[in-house]
Structure 1
Amino acid sequence: MIINIKKLTDTATIPTRGSSYAAGYDLYADLQESVELNAHETKVIPTGIAVEIPAGYFGGVFARSGLSLKEMLRPGNCTGVIDEDYTGEIGCIMHNDSEEKRIITPQERIAQLVIIPYLSVEFNEVDELNQTERGTDGFGSTDACR
């Protein structure tokens, strides 16, 4: 699949894969200088790129596991969604889960982009839903089955 991408600045970096089988493409911080994130602070970090997501797909912005584990930095919205009709700059909402100040440096890999198909559905309002064995048992209810 070919994805059209536009660099919005001279310093922007095109997303890269860490390995030939990686599902995600690393997104880079397009910064002129380092940005500080205080404990539990959230900021939008620019990437300097815009993409054309194909019809029937969306771009999922996920955490980089190493950055989350080592620095406790993650997307503030947990998973970002880039809709196929959005062609503006990709900004990564980054949150510092640690108790210490963290630094995001220029050209640092901050998140990963995964192109994912989705189904377009229509909702049909009904008075009752079909009965299932589980029914309305929610949060934690399947733990008893293990």
Structure 2
Amino acid sequence: MVEIEIIALQGCEDLLPSYAHPTDAAVDLRCSEDFSLESMERKAISCGIKIALPQDWAGLVLPRSGISLKRGVTVLNAPGLIDSGYRGEIKVALINFSKERQSFSRGERIAQFMAVRAEKIKFLPSLTLPPSDRGEEGFGSTGV
């Protein structure tokens, strides 16, 4: 388990992220104010919190399947990436793909947040790559 320092912004103490079930992989993020999204509209929605991820960790902001399927609202840049050095308010870029306006009330769960290890990458220049079963087969190579 990773420990993450968190600050609830003034008036948002009741919006701390939480797991819906003990076995969930991600916590729910809640909106800090009422808002609406028109069809095809996108907005950055405030969650009322700031966090300090440990070095070599990152945060992923993911869609909630329920509002994606039932309401057509999803995280625009899924997954959203939060670097360990970011200290600003957590916001979620949402888009409404439905044909109707979608309204949300303060405190509604709008996305999920998962902390993941972010190992540094060292690229090793090479003229060839080791063989694999897949090779260079890409988009749709295993069927549609």
> Structure 2 matches for 1:5-24, cutoff 5 A?
5-12=6-13, 13-24=15-26
Name the residue aligned to 1:52: 52
Structure-2 separation of matches of 1:127 and 1:98:
48
Residue deviations 1:28-63, cap 9 Å, x none? 1011xx322111111000011011111221111111
**Contact preservation (8 Å) 2:35, 2:103:** yes
**Contact preservation (8 Å) 2:12, 2:49:** no
Structure-2 separation of matches of 1:66 and 1:39:
18
Structure-1 separation of matches of 2:31 and 2:133:
48
Residue deviations 1:88-131, cap 9 Å, x none? 11000001111111112211110011111122111122223233
Residue deviations 1:72-99, cap 9 Å, x none? 1111102111111111110000011111
Report the TM-score when normalising by structure 1: 0.89
Name the residue aligned to 1:97: 97
> Structure 2 matches for 1:52-91, cutoff 5 A?
52-91=52-91
Structure-1 separation of matches of 2:135 and 2:3:
43
Structure-2 separation of matches of 1:133 and 1:30:
48
Q: CA deviation at 1:4?
A: 0.5
Amino acid at match of 2:131: Q
Secondary structure, counterpart of 2:89 in structure 1: coil
Structure-2 separation of matches of 1:18 and 1:89:
22
Structure-2 separation of matches of 1:130 and 1:22:
37
Structure-1 separation of matches of 2:100 and 2:3:
40
Report the TM-score when normalising by structure 2: 0.90
Aligned length: 142
Gaps of 5+ in 2: none
Amino acid at match of 1:48: G
Amino acid at match of 2:106: P
Change (3 A) 1:23 1:134: closer
